[in-house]
Structure 1
């Protein structure tokens, strides 16, 4: 468990979250992650709240949420929100994921068909390549 007064350097934050240092800087640049306090030498110091926020961002990104969707979720939790509002955003994202799964299943079927049409061998004649020239 992270202590409230424990600050981390950007390297420590990267290690804690598994998030690349350049990605952390990018999140700061686009204001997804607020700028941290800095030492007199200019080194970033990430508070417990920023650590938790980055963990949230990383988990949301890992679930495939876009940066804009993550921003919307963060705006909800930083304001007055209801579980219904969050559920609505999650269900919208779930529909996008289901559509992508359907598209990938069609792609898989097409590739399996192409592979099954290819006899292999040393000849330059290939039914899989030929099928790419045909209109469906």
Structure 2
């Protein structure tokens, strides 16, 4: 997906009607606003939703990311497979909760295009970024 300056996070519980979500995504795309589904891997996102109403970004929950740099190889392989599947569907995988440079490096090696977390910066007022 193309990068967008504003990304609207949608919690998976809000995704009740794929058709409605596709229509919302189309309207937001006209305004150059993207959609990110939040908390993937920690909740109840159905994989079919990624096909029926794909977001621009899919935020992999911190529970999947925390300690990934020292996680068992099986866990890393599982995460890499999920990341590749998401990319194959045309969705940008986003690692949520990256707190160390080792986690950032591991996420990059696993195929994540984007990441967020305290390693990159703390939450701050918007005026700080203007």
TM-score relative to the length of structure 2: 0.22
Which has more strand, going by share of residues?
2
Which has more helix, going by share of residues?
1
Specify which structure has the bigger relative contact order, considering alpha-carbon pairs within 8 angstroms and separated by 6 or more residues.
2
Structure number with larger C-alpha Rg: 1
